[in-house]
Amino acid sequence: MTKTRPRIGSRRWGRIGPRKSGRRIPKGIIHVQAGFNNTIVTVTDVLGRVVSWSSAGTCRFRGPRKGTPFAAQTTAGNAIRTVVDQGMKRAEVRIKGAGIGRDAVLRTIRKSGIRVSSIHDVTPIPYNGCRPPKKRRV
């Protein structure tokens, strides 16, 4: 015999309030993926759960403008604004990629008031790499 759940509010089984709770995040990790065509900034807490993210495409930059330093600066500002409201004071920065938005993102993080504890470059470097394509015969 199944037990019936009591109804809560006007919805059938679910929640009424907002899904995201106003949790306080004092310290976090800012992941920056700076490619030549786009910049993606993801802010996580210490355990690695995503709190906020943004990319140049979501900031309405299209085409070749997505790879510019200004697009990277706007992207970082959008991603960081929400976590500053949640109380983030310190962060560790991990940068991946060789795009031109790397420096602009770091400058924006410094201006936002978040204290940067460390900066790591986590760009993957091949030690031997992939096998090159066979020689072209004409």
Number of domains in the chain: 1
In a domain, 44, yes or no: yes
| Buried/exposed 7-38: b ≥16 CB within 10 Å, e otherwise | eeeeeeeeeeeeeeeeeebeebbbbbbbbeeb
| Residue 135 forms part of a structural domain | no
CATH number at residue 55: 3.30.420.80
Element counts in the chain: helices (H) and strands (E): 2, 5
Cβ atoms 34, 99 nearer than 8 A? yes
What is the value of pTM for the model shown? 0.77
Query: Average pLDDT, stretch 96-122?
Result: 94
How much is the pLDDT for 13? 58
Question: Who has greater pLDDT, 5 or 81?
Answer: 81
Residue 37 has pLDDT above 60, yes or no: yes
Helix axes 69-85, 102-111, angle to 10 degrees: 30
Residue 15 is assigned to a structural domain of this protein: no
Percent of the chain at pLDDT > 90 equals: 73
Tell me: pLDDT of 114 over 80.
yes
What pLDDT shows up at residue 44? Answer: 95
Instruction: For 57-86, write each residue's pLDDT tens digit.
Output: 999 999 999 999 999 999 999 999 989 999
Residue 74 token pair: 């706007």
* Torsion angle of the four alpha carbons 107, 112, 116, 122, in this order, in degrees rounded to the nearest 10: -50
Domain with 63 in it: 27-119
In a domain, 1, yes or no: no
